[in-house]
Amino acid sequence: MNVLTNRIEYAVGDASHQGYLAYDDEISEPRPGIVIVHEWWGVNGYMVRRAHMLAELGYVALAIDMYGDGCVAADPDEAGSLMNGVLSDMESGTATLGAGYDLLLSQPGVDAGRTAAIGYCFGGAMALHMARIGLPLSAVVSFHGALGSFHTAEPGSIKPSILVCHGAADSMVTMQDLEGFRQEMEQARADYEVLLLEGARHAFSNPQADANAEKYGLDLGYQQQADARSWAAMQTLFNKVF
């Protein structure tokens, strides 16, 4: 195994974006490609690490940049401003997601018929949006992602299998939000699963969550068991659909 992780620059309209591409260059045959959508912080070291982990599993992984210029927020105020800039203009946000997906498909070694998207927090909402608008993905996985919808999917229009990994103690994305999501997916006749993780708070997969909680006074928390269970559940889904 020889995993390479490289910064990749690409355009979305007139704007420059910077993502990270990870792959094992000792694999020669076409393999599934995975889009990773970042937390509200941007494409930081945590997203690069997840891309590397996916490459170790034999996938081509691309962490896409939703903000432009590879911007990484320095604090929650900046992160919130960057995130809300996307959420307030989801027409542009959708175009940015589409550009990232197209970039993944253009990478050497990617089997265009076997693709998925995963996302964390804000990125979970974006990955789910990719499913809702009918992108031809095989799977979508949300880790402690926001669950509200920017697009009402017609019944039968959601193509990928969906896995939502949700912390039962998440105060930012509530159990009421989760119930609304379940109802939406039932109405859309989507193939979906919810992995409810007892005692897990928001950002349960990120080892930096405890430090961020203490520094910024946010209700976050890393939980190693929830991190491991959700990552294993993602692998199970990928093994099924690929």
Model pLDDT for residues 21-72, shown as the tens digit of each residue: 999 999 999 999 999 999 999 999 999 999 999 999 999 999 999 999 999 9
Q: What is the mean pLDDT of residues 107-128?
A: 97
Mean pLDDT of the chain: 97
pLDDT for the residue numbered 196 = 98
pLDDT for the residue numbered 12 = 95
pLDDT digits (tens, 9 = 90+) for 204-235: 999 999 999 999 999 999 999 999 999 999 99
Q: What is the mean pLDDT of residues 106-112?
A: 96
Strand duo 60-64 + 110-120: pairing: unpaired
Residue 54 three-state SS: helix
With bands split at pLDDT 50, 70 and 90, how would you rate the model's confidence at 79?
very high
CA distance 133 to 151: 7
CA distance 242 to 67: 30
CA distance 30 to 205: 29
Architecture of 3-241 per CATH? Answer: 3-Layer(aba) Sandwich (3.40)
> If we measure between CA atoms, which residue out of 230, 29, 197 comes closest to residue 111?
29
Domain spans, the chain: 3-241
> Is the pTM above the cut of 0.85?
yes
pLDDT for the residue numbered 110 = 98
pLDDT for the residue numbered 95 = 97
With bands split at pLDDT 50, 70 and 90, how would you rate the model's confidence at 109?
very high
With bands split at pLDDT 50, 70 and 90, how would you rate the model's confidence at 16?
very high
Q: What is the mean pLDDT of residues 75-102?
A: 97
Dihedral over Cα of 164, 169, 174, 176: its sign: positive
DSSP 171: S
